[in-house]
Structure 1
Amino acid sequence: ALLAEIGLGGVESYYPSQLSGGMRQRAALVRTLATDPKLLLLDEPFSALDQQTKLKLEELVWKTLKQYEKTAVLVTHDIEEAIAMSDRIFLFSPRPGRLVRTFVIPDELRSRPPLAARQHPAFSPLFQSIWKEMEALESSS
């Protein structure tokens, strides 16, 4: 049932090599949700995908997390992805990794699907703020 909900109905007997990168990512999401976890750990889940597939999967993951009321920890180096997918962003320093700052995503962004959040007027100022903080970290190391 989860495969069909995620848009993978009819591929149950396929081997991973027969699936596209996006389909493999969706299958991994289904595999994770099937165990009904309390917390999902997503480590760079969209990094190996083309931009269009990445944006579509962000929308799907965001919707799925809301629908199943799941909490996820998303590890990413992509500031836009972090803003569009998150409630909070924890910025870590490089070696050793220490928490430097927490950014709380405003309601007007976190209540919107990722693509809509990227188009909201509050998105760019937050992006710039995080970017400046990251640049300051790089110059101090």
Structure 2
Amino acid sequence: MVRVRGHWRRTRSGMTWVRAHTRGRPVTAGVGFGLGIAALIAGGVLLWPKTSGQVEVATQSQATATRAPLTASHAQLVQMLRTARQRMGLTVEQAAGRAGMTPAEIIDIESGLTVPTGQDISVLAQVYTLSPDEWTTAVILQSSIT
């Protein structure tokens, strides 16, 4: 399955905006379903407690310890975009709908998991009504990250 960003599509009646979507073969109740059940059973067997009721679970600090910390410019860009969205009073879902992105993409950008592209910054600047100075700062920060 491939995630596709929003884009313009040429139709007989002109140009049409296509929202972000997932392209790929849908999961059916055939072979794919059987493999899913097999994976679920295998996962249950692997996660079954090996001792009397004690299961090893990774803590939050162990899970995040493997992720590299954000650079100063990346952290500043993330904070700027999150603050701009909150200043507009938009939820993640509302901002994603207006920007033609998925909520997961907005969350990934605001949490620092992904670096926004120049196009992402331009679209978010329009949605968040950033001033020209704020937009320039965001573009400079983004270019210093990549």
> TM-score, structure 2 length as denominator?
0.23
Structure 1 or 2, whichever has the larger Rg, is: 2
> TM-score, structure 1 length as denominator?
0.23
Q: Which one scores higher on RCO, CA 8 angstroms, separation ≥ 6?
A: 2
